[in-house]
Structure 1
Amino acid sequence: MTDYRYMQLEKLERSLVAGRISRRGFIQAALATGIVAAAGVEALADELDAIRANQDKRRASLARSYDYIVVGAGSAGCALVGALAQNAAARILVLEAGDWDTAPSIQDPRVWFTNLGTERDWGDVSIASPSVNNRAIPEHTGRVVGGGSSINATIWARPFKADLDHWASEAGDPMWGYSHGLDIFKSVENWQGAPNPKYRGTGGAVWVQPAHDPLPLALQALEGCRETGLPVVDDLNGEREETGNGFGLMNQIIKDGKRQNMAKAFLYPVLDQDNVTLLVGAHVQRIILEGDRAVGVEYIKDGTPVTIMAEREIILSSGGFNTPQILMLSGIGDEADLKAVGIKTLVSSPEVGKNVQDHILHGGCLFEAPSAFEYRNSAANVSGYYKTDSALELPDVSVVQIEIPYASDVIGKEYAPPPTSWALCAGLVAPKSRGTVKLKSANASDRPIVDMQFLSHPDDVKSLASSIEIARSIANSKAMKDFVVREVAPGRKLEGQELETFIRNGATTYFHSSGACRMGKDNQAVVDAKLRVNGVRNLRIADSTIMPRIVSVPTMPACVFIGRRMAEILEA
């Protein structure tokens, strides 16, 4: 089956959902691709047509108010709506600024990175700072149904026990801790690997499998880990969540070569219900307040401003930069910051837009292979986490093998890696540096000013230095000799200022922006343990921004946990 035929089917699916072709036209064209049998295409057509017809009906007869308005259809928003919708009496409106998630580049995980910088990406960039040698670093976030689970890599990495137990401590609520988190993860998973009832769930909505048919390059990288004394585990979720260390094949949300994003897992199954309405292309401008109560939202749809009211709750699930932006545009934030752009402060919340964090992916350790090879899955199949000091509560570094010559702009120009190169990327997963998000203006169309201050804390540079040496030791091990003609970058062990320059020049991110509306039990926190925005009734936040401290793994599963916790809280 060729890539072209799959792409044709994906285009047909998108056209049917969007109403551009009829059910009959879809079936005829889909059968012509030869990918699916008649029975299969009939079932697929029925599912997509039911979703399209129901959502057309819902959009054509929008109510003036809904019980719940969920702003954003990312990982957390999808998980939340999928649970809330089980109550047939709950009228739910989901507002998504982006389009449907049916683009072929979303469905095919091998080309996921081609979505970055497109209309499916908000296009934010962290302003240049001295700590990364005055480089402006992109911060890609999803502007599409499914959010980051649609445009980022397909890694399912659950938080460490210490991550969630820290949240529970900060929130003053044990339900945010690892014990309950594990129960939720097991309930949502449909794990396809070796059974492990203690840690893994089956039969849930989220398809998760070990990296399928990995390259010999990936398997030998794990042998290189063993050779260098690094712990290799059978499952990168499970016991490593408690021990803190482990290298192995990634868990991925890929089924039959197609991405299974959180929209497919949680949102699509409820879109044929009468109590769920999804509006795409609906860019929320602000929350409408009456005194200290959130009563509605204003959004732009097809160039027209629309106001719609909420009877019970408004939940912001808009992601790392949009959620604080919407709060500030609504007059909720730091008074000085709001005054600077001419917005009257309605609710003083000085920490909105502060405490912003992201993981660092270092694009710098490159190795030339003797010949070209076709990468598998999402072009990254092996990773691991490690404590550079045994006294640490959590791993501070990660290593990810990437089957393409992944490099930052500066490193790519300086070292000019051959096309047959691959990368073993050092990573920083417990950053101490903190950034900010501020409004550029009072116009919602202007993207906010993102200042991540990457590597501004000296401990972050120290940890990355250790991670780079771990990556180099794996790649230069005897186990990897058949896959390394030479070390392209850095080419040798660096020290002192030369090493620091290499670190700062190679810094990029995992696109895991978090923390701008932190949860806590103190009165300075933006939200409390029930995710209520302090100082505002009927307004809550459920996305990565509530993390008091970013989890030390990719954030998609943690956002699913946040969405499910939000549903539990609302249903209590």
Structure 2
Amino acid sequence: MTIGGMTTREKPGSARRVSSSTVPWIGRINASIPALADQLNEIRANQDARRKDLKGSYDYIICGTGCAGSAVAGRLAAVKKSARILVLEAGGWDTAASVLDPNLWVQNIGNHLDWNVFSEPSPSMNGRIIRESMGRVVGGGSSTNALTWSRPFKANLNEWAEISGEPLWGYEHALEIFRNLEDWHGPADARYRGTGGPVWVQPAAGHSAVGTALLEAAKECGHPVLSDQNGAREEMDGGFAYMNHIVRDGLRHSMARAYLYNVLGQENITLLPNSHVHRVVLDGDRAVAVEVDLGDRMVVFWADREIVLCAGGMNSAKILMLSGIGNEKDLKPHGIKTLVNSPDVGANYHNHTLHAACLWESPQPIPLLNTGANVAGFWKSKASLSAPDFNFVQLEFPYATEEIIARYAPPTTAWALCAGLVAPKSRGFLKLRSANPADNPILDARLLTHPDDMAALAAAIEACRELGNSQAMRPFAIREVAPGKKLDKEEMADFIRDGASSFFHSVGTCRMGKDEDAVVDGQLRVKGVRGLRIADGSIMPHIVSSATMAACVLIGERMAEILHKES
């Protein structure tokens, strides 16, 4: 993929505010610590010192500090002051300029903060290899992503509640949690938005001329235009709006800053960056420890109460398989003894497909505002759908795959309108490459293998062209660069496959459900294993129609809520 002229494709190697009576367990994280560099450095130094005096056992061990892991750790440490909590992160501290500066987020794709996982070549993608970027740093993806705070649709969460058999996964309870966790700096909305929570969220800081024009284009094309990307949109068929961003005082406010930095001064929590979890140790049917590579030595940390995997949409499944929890026929060739035969570990992989190919030439360069991505829209291709299957994202630079760049040679003044498939029917799978924890897994993503996904993306591309070629966009469009014309069926299929890429929203490989084959139940317990939970995007039975960061934070909040109620 090429982003603003930067090549990122590589060959795979061997990465409402609510009262406490409404959600009684939750308490309030102390949000009084200013985000000043010297104080953050003091916290990091304190945690680094603890690395020299590690305990052999902890009450809770949380593996991963991404969106869900940070929420689990922060909430537990705040309300369980007597519990000893160990948090493990394979990546380093979140101090890189590309983490802090919202404008530099594209630099995180393929750099040292990325797990650098690639899919297998796929005929459905014209034989192309697709990068699946995941954050390997304190804060996980919330430290490396495009900073968009987009909450799930009501229909998505009510579906989770039905599939899991657990009503508290449903929208109304989730809405309570979102109001409680948000510190919303936009127009007040008592039903949908909260203030005073740990997660700083604000509307896009300023409105760009090209973004405002796109909203006018949406009206021209019959789409609703909303004052807030979240809120009422969640109970609608969709709509266009300026994005919400996790940007505070011009800097990224990741989930690590939202949840972890407020509790790391406490004695009950230890965070170990650069600590790669290799596997979970089982004693019979109970998870009792984790085996961790600290860089200079291997260590086993014992868990007296619970181990929670928050390693992400791919790595939690990988850790399970390395631990002997997975499909026996897939583990045996790697010499891994199957302790729990769970064939669906690694199955049900799916993702949002981002089509990076619809481009227009602007008469002059477009100054980048905020992250360069400020306006988005959601819509349904069919009225019968429970939630939108399209997500349109405007990018103020020529975002396109290598193949599209080579074919259309867009000028540097080009801008993009990307069609996103956010309710895919295609499913892939994940398997171990070897028994070596350092090796990334084999990912057969199988994007666009379901014919309905191809049809939906074709319709979304035509919707993009209608928007981009509208009267409202003419001041910013000398010409349509790509595809440049209406395509016939064969041309459209080729254009889709050459322009298809990933939103980097990998989910589903440890799916939640009440059925026998589900990997985790509605309480996020790994079936067949006591003392082991999973809380991250891998548990999504079906992906939400929004970006996954807010949904993963919700999963972390629910995990902490569940653990608190069980104590």
Please indicate the TM-score interval, normalised by the length of the shorter structure: over 0.9
Matched residue, 1:125: 118
Q: Percent identity?
A: 56
- Judged with a 3 Å threshold, the aligned counterparts in structure 2 of structure 1 residues 308 and 407 are, in CA distance, closer, same or farther, namely same
Q: In 2, are the aligned partners of 1:54 and 1:273 still within 8 Å (CA)?
A: no
Matched, 1:354 2:347: yes
Aligned residue identity for 1:271: L
- Return 5+ residue gaps in structure 2 as ranges: 1-31
- In the alignment, which of 446, 457, 462 is matched to residue 453 of structure 1? 446
Q: In 1, are the aligned partners of 2:48 and 2:272 still within 8 Å (CA)?
A: no
Matched residue, 1:56: 48
**Post-superposition offset of 1:244:** 2.4
Aligned residue identity for 1:556: M
Aligned residue identity for 1:518: R
- Return 5+ residue gaps in structure 1 as ranges: 1-39
Matched residue, 1:25: none
Instruction: State the secondary structure of the residue aligned to 1:90.
Output: coil
Aligned residue identity for 1:217: V
Matched residue, 2:205: 212
Matched residue, 2:328: 335
**Post-superposition offset of 1:59:** 1.6
Q: In 1, are the aligned partners of 2:322 and 2:437 still within 8 Å (CA)?
A: yes
Aligned residue identity for 1:84: L
**Post-superposition offset of 1:236:** 1.0
Aligned residue identity for 2:182: E
Instruction: State the secondary structure of the residue aligned to 2:36.
Output: helix
Matched, 1:369 2:352: no
TM-score by length of 1: 0.92
- Judged with a 3 Å threshold, the aligned counterparts in structure 2 of structure 1 residues 283 and 41 are, in CA distance, closer, same or farther, namely closer
Distance in 1 of aligned mates of 2:33 and 2:86: 30
Instruction: State the secondary structure of the residue aligned to 1:127.
Output: coil
Matched residue, 1:564: 557
Matched residue, 1:243: 236
Distance in 2 of aligned mates of 1:217 and 1:42: 35
Matched residue, 1:284: 277
**Post-superposition offset of 1:115:** 1.0
Higher helix share: 1
Q: Deviations over 1:357-389 (max 9, x none)?
A: 100110110000001122111110000110111
Aligned residue identity for 2:44: R
Q: Map of 1:135-174 to 2, 5 A cutoff?
A: 135-174=128-167
Q: Deviations over 1:233-268 (max 9, x none)?
A: 111101110112111101111122211110000011
Distance in 1 of aligned mates of 2:99 and 2:39: 19
Q: Deviations over 1:120-178 (max 9, x none)?
A: 00000011111111100000001000111011110000000000000000010110000
**Post-superposition offset of 1:92:** 0.4
Q: In 2, are the aligned partners of 1:100 and 1:280 still within 8 Å (CA)?
A: yes
Matched residue, 1:30: none
Matched, 1:432 2:425: yes
**Post-superposition offset of 1:53:** 4.1
Distance in 2 of aligned mates of 1:410 and 1:402: 18
- In the alignment, which of 458, 463, 468 is matched to residue 461 of structure 2? 468
Aligned residue identity for 2:74: G
Distance in 1 of aligned mates of 2:461 and 2:560: 41
Matched, 1:477 2:470: yes
**Post-superposition offset of 1:49:** 4.5
Matched residue, 2:382: 389
Q: Deviations over 1:400-426 (max 9, x none)?
A: 000110001211111111000000001
Instruction: State the secondary structure of the residue aligned to 2:418.
Output: strand
Distance in 2 of aligned mates of 1:498 and 1:61: 62
**Post-superposition offset of 1:394:** 1.1
**Post-superposition offset of 1:54:** 2.7
Matched residue, 1:67: 59
Aligned residue identity for 1:384: G
Instruction: State the secondary structure of the residue aligned to 2:417.
Output: strand
Taking only aligned residues, the RMSD between alpha carbons, in angstroms, comes to: 1.3
**Post-superposition offset of 1:43:** 8.3
Distance in 1 of aligned mates of 2:165 and 2:108: 39
Q: Map of 1:19-98 to 2, 5 A cutoff?
A: 44=36, 47-86=39-78, 87-98=80-91
Q: In 2, are the aligned partners of 1:155 and 1:252 still within 8 Å (CA)?
A: yes
Aligned length: 533
Q: In 2, are the aligned partners of 1:93 and 1:276 still within 8 Å (CA)?
A: yes
**Post-superposition offset of 1:60:** 1.8
Instruction: State the secondary structure of the residue aligned to 1:170.
Output: helix
- Judged with a 3 Å threshold, the aligned counterparts in structure 2 of structure 1 residues 41 and 161 are, in CA distance, closer, same or farther, namely closer
Aligned residue identity for 1:500: A
- In the alignment, which of 185, 191, 200 is matched to residue 192 of structure 1? 185
Q: In 2, are the aligned partners of 1:160 and 1:244 still within 8 Å (CA)?
A: no
Distance in 2 of aligned mates of 1:453 and 1:312: 38
Q: In 2, are the aligned partners of 1:50 and 1:272 still within 8 Å (CA)?
A: no
**Post-superposition offset of 1:46:** 5.4
Q: In 2, are the aligned partners of 1:405 and 1:417 still within 8 Å (CA)?
A: yes
Instruction: State the secondary structure of the residue aligned to 2:467.
Output: helix
Matched, 1:298 2:286: no
Aligned residue identity for 2:185: Q
Aligned residue identity for 1:79: A
Distance in 1 of aligned mates of 2:34 and 2:296: 37
Q: After TM superposition, where is structure 1 displaced by more than 2 Å over at least 4 residues in a row?
A: 40-50
- Judged with a 3 Å threshold, the aligned counterparts in structure 2 of structure 1 residues 42 and 321 are, in CA distance, closer, same or farther, namely closer
**Post-superposition offset of 1:318:** 0.2
Distance in 2 of aligned mates of 1:542 and 1:56: 26
Distance in 2 of aligned mates of 1:267 and 1:406: 33
Instruction: State the secondary structure of the residue aligned to 1:114.
Output: helix
Distance in 2 of aligned mates of 1:53 and 1:553: 37
Q: Map of 1:400-411 to 2, 5 A cutoff?
A: 400-411=393-404
Distance in 2 of aligned mates of 1:303 and 1:111: 32
Aligned residue identity for 2:364: S
- Judged with a 3 Å threshold, the aligned counterparts in structure 2 of structure 1 residues 457 and 542 are, in CA distance, closer, same or farther, namely same
Matched residue, 2:416: 423
Matched residue, 2:493: 500
- In the alignment, which of 260, 263, 267 is matched to residue 267 of structure 1? 260
Distance in 1 of aligned mates of 2:465 and 2:45: 54
Aligned residue identity for 2:489: G
Distance in 2 of aligned mates of 1:73 and 1:173: 25
Q: Map of 1:106-121 to 2, 5 A cutoff?
A: 106-121=99-114
- Judged with a 3 Å threshold, the aligned counterparts in structure 2 of structure 1 residues 410 and 384 are, in CA distance, closer, same or farther, namely same
- Judged with a 3 Å threshold, the aligned counterparts in structure 2 of structure 1 residues 496 and 200 are, in CA distance, closer, same or farther, namely same
Distance in 1 of aligned mates of 2:522 and 2:247: 33
